Amino acid sequence: MWNCDERSAIIISRNGQVLRIYRHPDFPFIDVVPGHTVPRQSHTARRDIPYGEPTDCEEVDGTTWLQTRRGHRAPALYEQVLVRQDGYRMTLLSFDEDAVERQQEEDELRDSWTPRFYRR
């Protein structure tokens, strides 16, 4: 059960392979499942992260982790990584709530102006 008010997600990986994903119910769908490798473009995949110290929250393209609908942009994500022993890593994914709301409004406006043709 998720016990956090923020729409965020935590990904547990070991040696580059995703083990578990915990996400807020309103967090966008994560396009990686347990058993998959960590996306190469993610900060989690970097090898130069020091042990035991969480990284700064760094922006990453949302398509690195998220599934998006065709014609829609993924929100920019912020990724923070904590390296633990025996190859374990804990990744925190979050995003700017205001930016996501603005993006959703833009998507809805664009969709409302998209011409649709119907057959009779």
pLDDT digits (tens, 9 = 90+) for 6-51: 789 999 999 999 999 999 888 888 889 999 999 999 999 998 899 9
Helix (H) or strand (E) holding 99: helix 97-112
pTM: 0.75
Joined together, the tokens standing for residue 72 give 């829609």
pLDDT at residue 104, rounded to an integer: 61
How do residues 74-97 score in pLDDT, each as one tens digit?
777 899 999 999 999 999 999 876
d(CA 119, CA 79): 45
Residue-level pLDDT at 2: 44
